[in-house]
Structure 1
Amino acid sequence: MTVPTLTTARLVLRTMRIADWPGYAALMGSERAEYMGGPFGVAAAWGMFCSDHAQWEFYGSGALMIEDRASGRTLGQVAINRGPLFPEPELGWMVWPDAEGRGIAFEAARAMLDWAQGQAGLDSLVSYVDPGNARSITLALRLGAVRDATAARPDPADLVFCHRVRARA
């Protein structure tokens, strides 16, 4: 499977590199990971990092790192997550602290959602959001997602936001 590279006005969404690990580990080990079940130790964070990358081979989707086009700096990650931990394919995002509040997550998630529109076999896409994560709730709604209180979820406390997907064969 070839991992795509997506571009927007300000961003490049690209395959993960081992050089991305320190920033990923720092975020996952911090209080910023609380809305994802963290903070996580090194072993758990490493497992998630590897899973994010391996999903491309297993499912044809996975994580892309968010990189600033002008500076080349990594700003976070956006992903379409699948597998046994996710009842439905999930559009997820996270940005490093210094990238928050600049529309980076929206721009990256919009690009990933647009990419997903053309993926055969992808007839649903949701975002699982902790009810205390007001910024992610706002972002899911801004992306046009609709809350579904009856949808399956990995954590019973999660809110589920359904995205409109028009898959093409």
Structure 2
Amino acid sequence: MKSDTPPTLSTERLTLRPLVWDDWPAYSAFLASERARFMSGPHKVDTAWSFFCNDIAQWTLFGHGALMFEETASGTTLGQVALCKGPLFPELELGWFVFAGAEGRGFAFEAAAALRNWGFQTLGMAECVSYIDPENHRSIRLAERLGARRDPEAEAPDPTSLVYRHLPG
């Protein structure tokens, strides 16, 4: 089932919500920083803008896309989680990034699990993958903690990326 309208999801500590203009400064700063090195970055503002618009447009085009996640109690935006496909990815990807200072507290796990589960339950997706830079050890551990398994036979958008496959259940 396609969902043209981005959902707002809640977990024990987080609110996952659609991107808004006020997210742009932190989003573009993240992509311009060294923290984006595992996403082929750092990126210039024009590339960051393309990513931002793509993350929003995928909801209308495909019924999935990106959500920002924030700590519900404080309202502090902590990062992003996304289900993305489009012409750049061979398969539907579950991806994430976390802003500086928000790592190591399980926020990315909580947000990624919530969006992945929403995709399985609401979209009826049979599976998705995460494309991960082999040097991104934190994301590898997160994918494994989410229950994903490495799929060395799967095609990746970058031949150096590792592919982790998420299945329901």
- Shorter chain as denominator, the TM-score bin is over 0.9
Q: Which runs of 4+ in 1 moved over 4 A?
A: none
Letter in 2 for 1:143: L
Q: How does 1:96-111 map to 2 (within 5 A)?
A: 96-111=99-114
Aligned equivalents of 1:165 and 1:45: distance in 2? 32
Aligned equivalents of 2:37 and 2:153: distance in 1? 24
Q: Tell me, which stretches of 5 or more residues in structure 2 are unaligned?
A: none
Letter in 1 for 2:82: A
- Answer yes or no: is 1:41 the counterpart of 2:81: no
Aligned equivalents of 1:35 and 1:120: distance in 2? 28
Shift of 1:121: 5.4
Shift of 1:113: 1.0
Find the partner of 1:77 among 77, 80, 86: 80
Q: How many residue pairs end up in the alignment? A: 166
SS of residue paired to 1:153: coil
Could you report, residue by residue, the CA deviation over 1:11-56 in whole angstroms, capped at 9, with x for unpaired residues? 0000000000011011100011010100000000000000001000
Aligned equivalents of 1:165 and 1:34: distance in 2? 30
Aligned equivalents of 1:81 and 1:165: distance in 2? 17
> Counterpart in 1 of 2:167?
164
Aligned equivalents of 2:48 and 2:5: distance in 1? 24
SS of residue paired to 1:84: helix
Find the partner of 2:125 among 116, 122, 125: 122
Aligned equivalents of 1:135 and 1:128: distance in 2? 13
Could you report, residue by residue, the CA deviation over 1:37-90 in whole angstroms, capped at 9, with x for unpaired residues? 000000000000000010000010000000110011111000001100010000
Shift of 1:165: 3.3
Aligned equivalents of 2:168 and 2:42: distance in 1? 32
Report if the CA contact (8 A) 2:19-2:67 is conserved.
Answer: yes
Aligned equivalents of 1:120 and 1:111: distance in 2? 13
> Counterpart in 2 of 1:139?
142
CA RMSD between the two structures: 1.0
Task: Compute the TM-score of the two structures, normalised by the length of structure 2.
Answer: 0.96
Task: Compute the TM-score of the two structures, normalised by the length of structure 1.
Answer: 0.96
Report if the CA contact (8 A) 1:125-1:165 is conserved.
Answer: no
